[in-house]
């Protein structure tokens, strides 16, 4: 059942049930003893719709015709409000790059309220880039088109890949110019301003709990934990000490599941600060993220992180655990016992390890995971992928095309055996005899292993192609969409949105988007490296 905009029903639990900052004025400040401050979006010069997600419209029960209305554009660029909306910015803190940063808060996000759809689900609507709030510190509360295209497309791409994520309803241009120094090198320029309307059951982050804990405000901490359990984890029952422990354990599990998905599809978040960790285990805050193209476990897309590479691909599982330790420290005053929290942190490690091996086995088309010998097969493969620039996404799709039950493979030479994988290599000329031999040797072991499985070739291929995407939002693809959008041509944004709705399907008209990153994109800003400036 869908409705038009005026028919949307709101039940703003976060706003109504948690303590508010009593100060109504919008100026930068420290906010104590409150979970949020009221803040209104700033009106913009000439709002224009760039794109919307029909799936997210359906999620909140909005009919598609309404998405094409002027009211929709005005609403989701922050130029008007609906009856029932209550606008606010959340107060939270966080560890940034390992250091406690104190109060952060929604510096450029304004929540509009919680829509209740016909299934009774609550979906919080949030505008990103709609102007300053009390938490904007020294910044302007705005966002540019470049980063907004990236957030809009990636949120939806991740959803269709099956990765837990916040969603994006709309992308609008504001008609205002925003000044940004993209590489912090003094070359500031004007860029088009934009707003993304994000949608999630809630936007609560680890940092929401950390801030009251850091201030010794246990009463506020308890209020927020109880509220979160009642609204987002109702199956855990009435909040009490054992419920808090069950809740923390579930957060550990959800976080492990999210990270396993990131590792499966080759997503690198880039800024895994504790204020960017959702309590629901959703991927949140798409900034200088990137997609692994050639398999390099040490890769980070974020130029700010280039020194320590804290947020590199292979480090994401440990960083998530480090962040969970910070959350455990924050909620400790409600539990007063370290041992059960430590047990949940150990549980995170178990969940991750077990889940990661199972996920990797499924990427190889193995259904009955065989423990140690499969572990070895997986780690040998990951060593191989590092030997020469190998596109991870293409490699797994091409591996699925090898019919391991074909008896002639046993006699095939190294070169013949790896021929189906050649497209995955960025520099086929760099394939030395030794790399070819090691790869072929691994393929023989893999083929033997696959033959133990009951599945026939089409079944194995189907399984592999359901976990190994054909299309991901390669960094250069988002950049092409941005280049065009900056010239007011939104066709690539729309094309990619459509393409990425079916990332696992062969889309014969769209083969170009399944190819390796082109050479021109190797070192271009936005394609291989990104800054936090957005
Ligand atoms: P991030 O790491 O990008 O998620 O942001 C860290 C903090 O900076 C959060 O409190 C954001 O709300 C805030 N922030 C980032 N960009 C801006 C901006 N342009 N204006 C105001 N606050 C911002
Ligand atoms: Mg953030």
pLDDT tens digits in sequence order for the chain, 534 residues long:
899 999 999 999 999 999 999 999 999 999 999 999 999 999 999 999 999 999 999 999 999 999 999 999 999 999 999 999 999 999 999 999 999 999 999 999 999 999 999 999 999 999 999 999 999 999 999 999 999 999 999 999 999 999 999 999 999 999 999 999 888 888 899 999 999 999 999 999 999 999 999 999 999 999 999 999 999 999 999 999 999 999 999 999 999 999 999 999 999 999 999 999 999 999 999 999 999 999 999 999 999 998 899 999 999 999 999 999 999 999 999 999 999 999 999 999 999 999 999 999 999 999 978 889 999 999 999 999 999 999 999 999 999 999 999 999 999 999 999 999 999 999 999 999 999 999 999 999 999 999 999 889 999 999 999 999 999 999 999 999 999 999 999 999 999 999 999 999 999 999 999 999 999 998 888 888 888 888
In this structure, are 104 and 185 located in the same domain?
yes
Residue 271 lies in a domain: yes
Q: What is the pLDDT of residues 281-324, one digit of tens each?
A: 999 999 999 999 999 999 999 999 988 999 999 999 999 999 99
**Number of independent structural domains in the chain:** 3
Of 292, 263, 226, 234, nearest to 474 by C-alpha is 292
DSSP conformational letter for 27:
-
Residue ending a domain, choose from 454, 471, 494: 454
In this structure, are 336 and 407 located in the same domain?
no
Residue 475 lies in a domain: no
In this structure, are 140 and 281 located in the same domain?
no
In this structure, are 289 and 387 located in the same domain?
no
In this structure, are 28 and 170 located in the same domain?
yes
Residue 524 lies in a domain: no
Q: Structure pTM?
A: 0.98
In this structure, are 161 and 188 located in the same domain?
yes
Cα–chain-centroid distance for residue 386? 25
CA distance 263 to 387: 19
Closest C-alpha to ligand 1, atom 6: 104
Residue 534 lies in a domain: no
In DSSP notation, 134-150 reads: TT-TTS-SB-BHHHHHH
Of 7, 126, 125, 148, nearest to 66 by C-alpha is 7
In this structure, are 226 and 313 located in the same domain?
yes
Residue 411 lies in a domain: yes
In this structure, are 300 and 384 located in the same domain?
no
How far does residue 275's CA lie from ligand 2's centre (Å)?
6
Query: Which residues have CB under 6 Å of ligand 1?
Result: 104-108, 135-136, 139-142, 271, 273, 276, 285, 287, 532
Residue ending a domain, choose from 203, 237, 272: 203
In this structure, are 318 and 252 located in the same domain?
yes
Structural domain of 132: 5-203
In this structure, are 427 and 333 located in the same domain?
no
List alpha helices for 104-240, DSSP H.
145-161, 206-214, 218-232
How far does residue 130's CA lie from ligand 1's centre (Å)?
12
Residue 22 lies in a domain: yes
Q: Which ligand is nearest to the CA of 193?
A: 1
How far does residue 136's CA lie from ligand 1's centre (Å)?
7
Which amino acids are annotated catalytic?
275
Count the neighbouring beta carbons within 10 Å of the beta carbon of residue 480. Answer: 19
> What residue has token string 């299309």?
471
């Amino acid at each position: 059942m869908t409705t038009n905009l005026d028919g949307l029903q709101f039940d703003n639990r976060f706003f109504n049930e948690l303590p508010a900052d009593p100060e109504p004025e919008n100026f930068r400040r420290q906010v104590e003893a409150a979970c949020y401050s009221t803040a209104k979006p700033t009106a913009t010069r000439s709002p224009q719709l760039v794109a919307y997600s029909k799936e997210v419209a359906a999620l909140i029960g909005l009919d598609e015709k309404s998405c094409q209305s002027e009211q929709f554009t005005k609403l989701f660029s922050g130029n008007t409000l609906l009856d029932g909306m209550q606008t606010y910015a959340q107060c939270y803190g966080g560890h940034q790059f390992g250091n406690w940063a104190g109060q952060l808060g929604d510096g450029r996000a304004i929540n509009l309220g919680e829509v209740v759809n016909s299934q009774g689900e609550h979906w919080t609507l949030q505008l990103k880039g709609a102007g300053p709030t009390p938490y904007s510190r020294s910044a302007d509360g705005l966002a540019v088109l470049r980063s907004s295209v990236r957030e809009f497309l990636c949120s939806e791409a991740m959803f269709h890949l099956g990765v837990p994520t916040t969603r994006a309803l709309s992308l609008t241009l504001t008609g205002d110019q925003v000044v940004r120094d993209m590489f912090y090198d003094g070359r500031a320029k004007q860029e088009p301003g934009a707003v993304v309307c994000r949608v999630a059951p809630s936007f609560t982050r680890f940092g929401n709990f950390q801030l009251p804990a850091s201030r010794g405000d246990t009463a506020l901490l308890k209020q927020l934990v109880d509220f979160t359990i009642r609204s987002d984890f109702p199956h855990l029952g009435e909040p009490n000490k054992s419920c808090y422990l069950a809740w923390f354990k579930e957060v550990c599990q959800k976080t492990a599941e999210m990270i396993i998905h990131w590792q499966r599809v080759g997503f690198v978040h880039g800024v895994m600060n504790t204020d960017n960790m959702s309590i629901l285990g959703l991927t949140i805050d798409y900034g200088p993220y990137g997609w692994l193209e050639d398999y390099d476990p040490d890769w980070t897309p974020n130029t700010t992180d280039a020194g320590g590479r804290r947020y590199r691909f292979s480090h994401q599982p440990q960083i998530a655990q480090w962040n969970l330790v910070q959350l455990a420290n924050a909620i400790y005053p409600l539990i007063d016992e370290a041992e059960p929290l430590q047990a949940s942190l150990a549980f995170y490690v178990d969940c991750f390890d077990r889940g990661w091996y199972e996920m990797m086995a499924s990427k190889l088309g193995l259904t009955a995971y065989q423990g140690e010998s499969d572990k070895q097969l997986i780690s040998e493969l990951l060593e191989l992928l590092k030997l020469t620039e190998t596109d991870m996404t293409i490699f797994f799709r091409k591996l699925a095309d090898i019919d391991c039950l074909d008896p002639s493979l046993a006699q095939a030479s190294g070169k013949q055996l790896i021929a189906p994988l050649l497209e995955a290599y960025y520099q086929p000329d760099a394939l030395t005899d030794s790399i070819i031999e090691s790869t072929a040797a691994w393929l023989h072991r893999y083929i033997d292993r696959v033959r133990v499985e009951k599945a026939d070739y089409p079944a194995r291929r189907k399984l592999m192609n359901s976990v190994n995407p054909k299309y991901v939002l390669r960094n250069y693809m988002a950049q092409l969409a941005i280049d065009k959008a900056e010239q007011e041509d939104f066709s690539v944004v729309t094309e990619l949105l459509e393409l990425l709705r079916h990332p696992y399907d062969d889309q014969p008209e769209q083969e170009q988007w399944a190819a390796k990153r082109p050479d021109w994109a190797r070192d271009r800003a936005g394609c291989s490296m990104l800054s936090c400036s957005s």
